[in-house]
Structure 1
Amino acid sequence: MSITLKQAETAVQAAKAKASDIDTLMNIAIVDAGANLVAFARMDGAWLGSLDIAQKKARTARYFDMPTGEIGKLSQPGGSLFNIEHSNGGLITFPGGIPIKNASGEIIGAIGVSGSSVENDHTVAQAGVDALQ
């Protein structure tokens, strides 16, 4: 099972609303269960460099079925996943990517957000996920 376009659009809208609430501009990417891009939004004025980061955060979260910030903790020097960010064509291992689950707990996709501090990126991504719960 994979996220639908309608669900992806709902997540993007919720993430955009949260970004506006906290007065930041974001790039928001939603990927399906196969890590393929389903929906993307670049808020007016959001950093161009964050386009790629948002998409990589979403793919990273789906590839490993965990939030990107958790992968980051494991990929520090001496950690079990040290240097993993160099795999899969480049991963992002700091907060802002979160898997998306359906009501049965199955992962159906992921969201990746970039454009502000990693704390704000995670907050906005979580709002997108929460909109589908």
Structure 2
Amino acid sequence: MKSKPVLTQSDVARVLDAARAEATANGWAVTLAVADDGGHLLALERLDGCAPVGAYIATEKARTSALGRRESKGYEDMVNKGRFAFLSAPLSGLLEGGVPIVVEGQVVGAIGVSGVKPEQDAQVAKAGASVFA
């Protein structure tokens, strides 16, 4: 039987702290969502000033990234390059801003961020995911 690392609440807090610090340093009002490797929400934090829809979008970006084991931007790129059939996939966070959290070479979860420009969402998400790099 194989063993794998899993995210603890302490780990999730570290991810949120790093992502929040990046968002705050840039003055960005975003929502942060952390999911486990099955895409199940572990934490959600909507910073002051972020639109309510950010909570839904960030959660879906995290879920998509966790289940797909890749950045959600990859799916957005596929659709933008004409692979419209992928829109029927059972994922709804097909936008940039979801980043997998990798520990010991294994995806243990993901962070999704929503609230600013796509590349800024991704920047914040990468800051959160990088605590284990």
TM-score above 0.5? yes
- Which of 13, 16, 21 is the equivalent residue of 1:12? 16
Unaligned runs of 5+ in 1: none
The question of whether the paired residues in 2 share the 8 Å contact of 1:112 and 1:125 is answered with yes
RMSD: 1.4
Give the superposition deviation at 1:83. Answer: 4.0
* Greater percentage in helix: 2
Structure 2, unpaired ranges of 5+: none
* 1:116 aligned counterpart, secondary structure: coil
Give secondary structure in 2 for the equivalent of 1:95.
Answer: coil
* Match of residue 97 from structure 2: 96
Cα deviation per residue 1:4-52 (whole Å; 9 max; x = unaligned)? 1111111111111100111111100000011111111111121111110
State the secondary structure of the residue aligned to 1:108: strand
Where 2:94 maps in the other structure, the secondary structure is coil
Q: In the aligned structure 2, how far is the partner of 1:75 from the partner of 1:57? A: 15
Pick from 79, 83, 86: which aligns with 1:84?
86
User: What's the TM-score once normalised by structure 1's chain length?
Assistant: 0.90
Deviation of 1:93 after TM superposition, in Å, equals 1.6
SS of 1:129's equivalent in the other structure is helix
Contact 1:7-1:132 at 8 Å conserved across structures: no
Q: Aligned pairs, how many?
A: 129
Q: TM-score w.r.t. structure 2 length?
A: 0.90
For the pair 1:38 / 2:39, whether they are aligned, the reply is: no
**Percent of matched pairs sharing the same residue:** 30
Q: Residue 120 of structure 1 corresponds to which residue in structure 2?
A: 120
* Cα pair 1:100 1:109 within 8 Å, conserved: yes
Conserved 8 A contact 2:38-2:109: yes
Q: Helix, strand or coil: the match of 1:112?
A: strand
